[in-house]
């Protein structure tokens, strides 16, 4: 089997790592793997058969078209035409799509091509962008326009941001037309929550199969428990950890500030991935750490924390929950999107969005009494059973085989 994956990144961020790990598994299985990704990024990988889509100039031009005309996904014309020539040369048996947003590919050119071929398509949905006229998530503002027809987008100025034109209505119409033009398409939502949303979208007539994200349990495992003591002199403190690649109001940044006002000096909040701009807004009892790309170092942070807090207002199936549990640290998450799906198996606690009082109560209960029936060993067993990439991603290989009839 010859597999081609298309994603905005490779071996960077959760979707980039997922695509990379699926490719590794295919190679280990004796198959051929190709990954096409945005030319904006460096090839952060050791894998052969990678294809850069466009250049940094193509990326910035696509971003400019988006900023002015709200035409995200309709730039990168030259780069996409070049990719199609490479696809013709490779002749893949399966094309596996991931994130198609990110200013790197033209969805009209791509899907017109896919509709004209007989190549089976698998599309893993990591968010909601594929069935909206603009946004990648809509829970924060509780918008349901996507169920019928997007228009007058309340999130026009947010990713993928448009500063002038609101083209959400036309984008919605074009996406619906293009994404329904392919006959041999199987959709893979990464959570049951996202799958439930699909049933109300214009993609509802396609077959879907939920495959949860997996992580590398050799990397994310219990590690150095004295990291904060050694590096930040936080002896006898109860460590509360938050991790994000980009912090924002929707990611819960200001929830941590609210929380910090309700905790005494026995608690310390540590946020990873805070920008220099947002650092200025943090109170003194919150420690900020720059974004960490080294996964082993990130595993040390999880391992040396007492609780991982996911206070997001929008998410599909966050891998940070999985990483924390695999390192033996319980999770408290807001009841948001697919986030509770990884926590409801005895890995932590689910709290209603914005309920700071209940959040504080649960944190103090864990500090004083622990979590009944939850230990580092039990969390590790759950991670081995539920989150192992070598188990979860086999479902993709089985899906490919069933589609190809092999």
Beta strands (DSSP E) in 22-114 are 32-38, 50-53, 94-97
Residue 55 inside a domain? The answer is yes
3-state secondary structure of 274: coil
State whether 30 and 53 are in the same domain.
yes
pLDDT band at 375 (very low <50, low <70, confident <90, very high): confident
Residue 197 inside a domain? The answer is yes
State whether 203 and 238 are in the same domain.
no
State whether 54 and 140 are in the same domain.
yes
State whether 197 and 344 are in the same domain.
no
pLDDT band at 45 (very low <50, low <70, confident <90, very high): low
Q: What is the predicted pLDDT for the residue at 373?
A: 77
Q: Global pTM?
A: 0.95
Q: Which helix (H) or strand (E) holds 270?
A: strand 267-272
Task: With CA atoms as reference, report the closest residue to 403 among 131, 228, 174, 206.
Answer: 206
Residue 377 inside a domain? The answer is yes
Number of independent structural domains in the chain: 2
Residue 221 inside a domain? The answer is no
- The number of helix segments (H) and strand segments (E) in the chain equals 15, 13
How far is Cα 244 from Cα 312, in angstroms, rounded to an integer? 10
Q: Are 270 and 287 in contact (CB under 8 A)?
A: yes
State whether 243 and 321 are in the same domain.
yes
State whether 379 and 396 are in the same domain.
no
pLDDT band at 393 (very low <50, low <70, confident <90, very high): very high
Asked, as a colleague might, if the bond just before 100 is cis with ω within 30 of 0, I would say no
State whether 400 and 358 are in the same domain.
no
Q: Are 85 and 109 in contact (CB under 8 A)?
A: no
- As a whole-number percent, the residues of the chain with pLDDT over 70 amount to 96
State whether 183 and 54 are in the same domain.
yes
Residue 88 inside a domain? The answer is yes
pLDDT band at 228 (very low <50, low <70, confident <90, very high): low
pLDDT band at 202 (very low <50, low <70, confident <90, very high): very high
Q: What is the predicted pLDDT for the residue at 349?
A: 95
Q: What is the predicted pLDDT for the residue at 345?
A: 67
State whether 377 and 363 are in the same domain.
yes
pLDDT, tens digit, 9 for 90 and up, residues 145-181: 999 999 999 999 999 999 999 999 999 999 999 999 9
* Helix intervals (H) in 268-388: 276-279, 295-303, 319-326, 356-369, 376-386
Q: Estimate the share of the chain in helix, then strand, then coil, as percent rounded to the nearest 5.
A: 40, 15, 45
Show contacts of 57-60: CB within 8 Å, 24+ apart. 58/104, 59/103, 59/104, 60/103
State whether 196 and 253 are in the same domain.
no
195 C-beta neighbours (distance < 10 Å), count: 17
Q: What is the predicted pLDDT for the residue at 356?
A: 98
pLDDT, tens digit, 9 for 90 and up, residues 8-37: 999 888 899 999 999 999 999 999 999 999
Specify which residues 268 forms β-bridges with.
239
* 103-114 mean pLDDT: 98
40 C-beta neighbours (distance < 10 Å), count: 21
Q: Are 15 and 316 in contact (CB under 8 A)?
A: no
| Contact partners, residue 188, CB within 8 Å, separation at least 6 | 122, 123, 124, 125, 208, 209, 210, 211, 396, 399
Residue 222 inside a domain? The answer is no
CA distances from 329 to 123, 234, 379 (A): 32, 18, 7
Residue 176: which CATH number?
3.40.50.2000
Residue 220 inside a domain? The answer is no
CA distances from 28 to 93, 386, 397 (A): 17, 22, 11
How far is Cα 380 from Cα 299, in angstroms, rounded to an integer? 13
Q: Determine the distance from the C-alpha atom of residue 46 to the mean position of all C-alpha atoms in its chain, rounded to a whole number.
A: 22
Residue 29 inside a domain? The answer is yes
How far is Cα 307 from Cα 171, in angstroms, rounded to an integer? 41
Q: What is the predicted pLDDT for the residue at 248?
A: 94
CB burial readout 5-35, b (16+ within 10 A) else e: bbbbbbbbbbbbbbbbbbbbbbeeeebbbbb
Q: What is the predicted pLDDT for the residue at 233?
A: 56
* Helix intervals (H) in 188-341: 192-198, 227-232, 253-260, 276-279, 295-303, 319-326
State whether 373 and 253 are in the same domain.
yes
State whether 238 and 197 are in the same domain.
no
332: containing domain: 227-386
How far is Cα 82 from Cα 308, in angstroms, rounded to an integer? 44
**Lookup: tokens for 95:** 């094309």
Lowest mean pLDDT: which of 137-151, 289-303, 322-336?
289-303
Task: With CA atoms as reference, report the closest residue to 54 among 72, 39, 65, 43.
Answer: 39
Lowest mean pLDDT: which of 100-114, 127-141, 222-236, 364-378?
222-236
pLDDT band at 42 (very low <50, low <70, confident <90, very high): low
The angle at the Cα of 87, spanning 210 to 13, to the nearest 5 degrees, equals: 45
3-state secondary structure of 69: helix
Lowest mean pLDDT: which of 65-79, 108-122, 202-216, 341-355?
341-355
């Amino acid at each position: 089997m010859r597999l081609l994956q298309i994603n905005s990144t490779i071996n960077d961020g959760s979707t980039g790592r997922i695509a990379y790990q699926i490719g590794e598994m295919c190679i280990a299985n004796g198959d051929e793997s190709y990954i096409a990704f945005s030319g904006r990024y460096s090839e952060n990988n050791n894998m052969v058969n990678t294809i850069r889509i466009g250049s940094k100039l193509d990326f910035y031009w696509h971003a400019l078209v988006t900023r002015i005309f709200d035409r995200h996904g309709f730039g990168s014309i030259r780069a996409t035409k070049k990719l199609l020539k490479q696809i013709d040369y490779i002749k893949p048996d399966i094309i596996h799509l991931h994130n198609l947003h990110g200013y790197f590919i033209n969805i009209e050119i791509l899907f017109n091509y896919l509709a004209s071929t007989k190549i089976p398509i698998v599309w893993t949905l990591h968010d909601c962008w594929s069935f909206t006229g603009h946004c990648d998530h809509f829970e924060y503002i509780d918008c349901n326009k996507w169920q019928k027809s997007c228009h007058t987008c309340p999130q026009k100025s947010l990713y993928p941001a448009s500063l002038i034109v609101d083209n959400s209505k036309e984008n919605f119409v074009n996406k619906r037309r293009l994404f329904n033009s392919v006959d041999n398409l199987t959709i893979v939502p990464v959570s049951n929550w996202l799958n439930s949303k699909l049933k109300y979208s214009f993609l509802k007539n396609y077959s879907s199969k939920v495959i949860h994200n997996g992580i590398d349990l050799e990397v994310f495992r219990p590690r150095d428990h004295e990291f904060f003591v050694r590096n930040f002199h936080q002896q006898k403190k109860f460590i509360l950890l938050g991790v994000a690649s980009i912090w924002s109001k929707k990611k819960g940044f200001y929830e941590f500030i609210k929380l910090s006002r309700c905790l005494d000096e026995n608690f310390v909040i540590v946020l990873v991935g805070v920008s220099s701009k947002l650092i200025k807004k943090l109170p003194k009892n919150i420690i900020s750490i720059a974004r960490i790309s080294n996964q082993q170092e990130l595993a040390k942070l999880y391992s040396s924390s007492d609780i991982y807090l996911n206070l997001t207002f929008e998410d599909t199936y966050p891998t940070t929950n999985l990483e924390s549990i695999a390192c033996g640290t319980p999770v408290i998450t807001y009841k948001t999107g697919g986030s509770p799906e990884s926590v409801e198996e005895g890995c932590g606690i689910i709290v209603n969005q914005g309920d700071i009082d209940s959040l504080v109560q649960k944190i103090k209960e864990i500090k004083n009494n622990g979590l009944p029936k939850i230990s580092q060993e039990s969390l590790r067993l759950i991670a081995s059973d539920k989150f192992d990439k070598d188990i979860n991603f086999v479902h993709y290989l089985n899906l490919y085989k069933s589609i190809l009839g092999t």
